Structure 1
């Protein structure tokens, strides 16, 4: 895992910035008197950027390689974020968040394709376990900065600084990266044919994340909990998800990713049922932590499962494809959850999560996924300065 430390550090600082800027953006927009509806459109602009970026990044990566691509994405994201200072109208904000969304998905596509290309199937679970641990740690750290600093301007500068700091581990500590990929284009249909269980798992991870973290606080408030209690329950979910990444990755390498995915989906369904029946902070916190520990590991497992089935030339396409599946789910999740809550009350979000995980579990149970025999690592090449 030591050789991947610069990549993990890059992900950590990128997620610190994203974890800070995601909740900071609506705060800044509200301070300019922008409506709630317009704030929602700005948020959609970010996810629109992730969708478009997942389609375009493979071509950038094919032309300039992993290291240069990471530098470009981090610099452009920092510059775009810096432009938001003093902007008080919606259209520029949409454009800026769209660019940041493209760049953030670019960073993750590059890192994931690098990890896939440089790791063998027998250790891919732990490799992605540490990757997801770095991602979740950065997200938690970024969100916690909101309460540590009161000045929105200072927070914005910290977000810009985190993007630029994400460059340092790669540019200082890394001289070699995977050889320039020969891009084997993968349509979503081909990706589904390659690994229906892996794609379904990544889609479910994205949609559940969009549903849960957007609407779980709303559900608890409607159940009568105070803001402090809501904060405690959400924090437990995040910490549980963060702490489970590496152990689950190690276990997946030992007994198989399909088995772990099935267990995680089954336990997540039970956790959602418990949340549906919860009325007090204690039970929201307990079942929320169980939910975070199981639903939070799905994406890394889904990526590993899909990569196990792919040829080396397909790994960049796999990375962008599963991120597209994740982003598609994350975009639609909050809308579906909000509609369910309008019909069923605050428990509607938990009902939809149970249905989502049940559907994903059905796909996984029906799918058989023999691993390729050529799932080794590719050579690394030195990158000229």
Structure 2
């Protein structure tokens, strides 16, 4: 395992540098919009534009990679990401920001896909879970570090340049790697109607989970500002929420392996609703209270995507790739709508995220309890919980891993030998 990780050092190093810059710009752009005096609803539209670009990237980048290859696409996406970010720092035109933010979403979706495709293609099935775990820890840690960089006293121009410099530096390790490029990325394919018929809880849960997390990712800095947090505290606000989501993923997943995942989804939703109600009742501007509340909300809402994906795969004979793509897109639709709803409510109350979370997850809890009462599940296709981030490539690779596990022993030995030769 150490030898395998050493051979992937350039990819992991690139991912770390890039995602520090990405984490910084996630918080920097909304904060800069606030400094320009923009209303919350306009910032919400910009956040939704980012997630729209992300969805478009999931749908289009695989075909682009198939045409020109991973390294060229990776370089183009980073260049597009960086130039769009710098463009936002240069102008204050709303329509131009919408286009630039959409391009950033498209770019980061493709960057995730290229890096994850590369990692998975060069990893044998027995090591894939460990490599993904290491990658997840590195990526979330890098994003958290990026959030904290907002507190540096560099001014907005300096922070934009720092984020852009980190993004560009992220090209260097991959650009100098001597490893062969991976196979083309499979394009996503799914039917919403068919997937909703086989797993209503998963699709509804993915939508409302995306509604909550999308509102946080797009408007977290605006929400923190509305709660009178300073620029340095905004980074901590974002970081503790991400850490909460990271800390509870694995315990929640292991629990869902032992009992009906729908009970776990209901439990998370109910506790998140209680957390939101508590935050609304306290209505505290104390940073420590806000940090604790957001840590819990992140820990309770972030695992919903992985749980819904696992539940959907437990109860259908559709391909994992098709199910995963559909659940991802449903989550993305929620992420597009979340910022619009939260930003509208921010015009009336600083508790907007907690109100949206409380209402959305109450609906999810009621719907899931209804399904539990009238529909049993057999878990005929049960697979252990896998900590999945909402990116297309992790969905695709989970499907490919399932196909590999069904290969003959001879095929598996041949594939392993080929992987070792490439490494």
TM normalised by structure 2 equals 0.68
1:124-151 per-position Cα deviation (integer Å, ceiling 9, x unaligned): 6554443433332222222211111332
Distance in structure 1 (CA, Å) of the matches to 2:275 and 2:303: 19
Using the TM superposition, name which of 203-212 and 47-56 deviates more. Answer: 203-212
Distance in structure 1 (CA, Å) of the matches to 2:166 and 2:218: 24
Distance in structure 1 (CA, Å) of the matches to 2:13 and 2:330: 25
Distance in structure 1 (CA, Å) of the matches to 2:303 and 2:88: 33
1:329 maps to which residue? Answer: 334
Structure-2 change in CA distance of 1:336 and 1:40 (3 Å)? closer
Distance in structure 1 (CA, Å) of the matches to 2:370 and 2:126: 24
2:278 maps to which residue? Answer: 277
Task: Give the alignment of 1:222-241 within 5 angstroms.
Answer: 227=229, 235-241=239-245
Distance in structure 2 (CA, Å) of the matches to 1:344 and 1:153: 28
Using the TM superposition, name which of 331-340 and 302-311 deviates more. Answer: 302-311
Task: Give the alignment of 1:186-265 within 5 angstroms.
Answer: 186-189=190-193, 202-212=206-216, 227=229, 235-244=239-248, 247-248=250-251, 252=254, 256=257, 263=264
Q: Give the number of the structure whose alpha-carbon radius of gyration is greater.
A: 2
1:109 maps to which residue? Answer: 113
Distance in structure 2 (CA, Å) of the matches to 1:60 and 1:199: 28
Tell me, yes or no, if the aligned pair for 1:44 and 1:331 is still in contact at 8 Å: yes
Distance in structure 2 (CA, Å) of the matches to 1:126 and 1:361: 32
Structure-2 change in CA distance of 1:88 and 1:157 (3 Å)? same
Structure 1: 5+ residue stretches without partners: none
RMSD: 4.6
Q: CA deviation at 1:271?
A: 3.5
Tell me, yes or no, if the aligned pair for 2:223 and 2:350 is still in contact at 8 Å: no
2:46 maps to which residue? Answer: 42
Using the TM superposition, name which of 3-12 and 74-83 deviates more. Answer: 3-12
TM normalised by structure 1 equals 0.74
Task: Give the alignment of 1:102-141 within 5 angstroms.
Answer: 102-114=106-118, 126-141=130-145
Tell me, yes or no, if the aligned pair for 2:17 and 2:170 is still in contact at 8 Å: yes
Q: CA deviation at 1:186?
A: 3.2
Distance in structure 1 (CA, Å) of the matches to 2:404 and 2:307: 16
Distance in structure 1 (CA, Å) of the matches to 2:89 and 2:146: 19
Distance in structure 1 (CA, Å) of the matches to 2:312 and 2:213: 20
- What count of residue pairs does the alignment treat as equivalent? 377
Residue 340 of structure 2 aligns to a residue in which SS?
A: helix
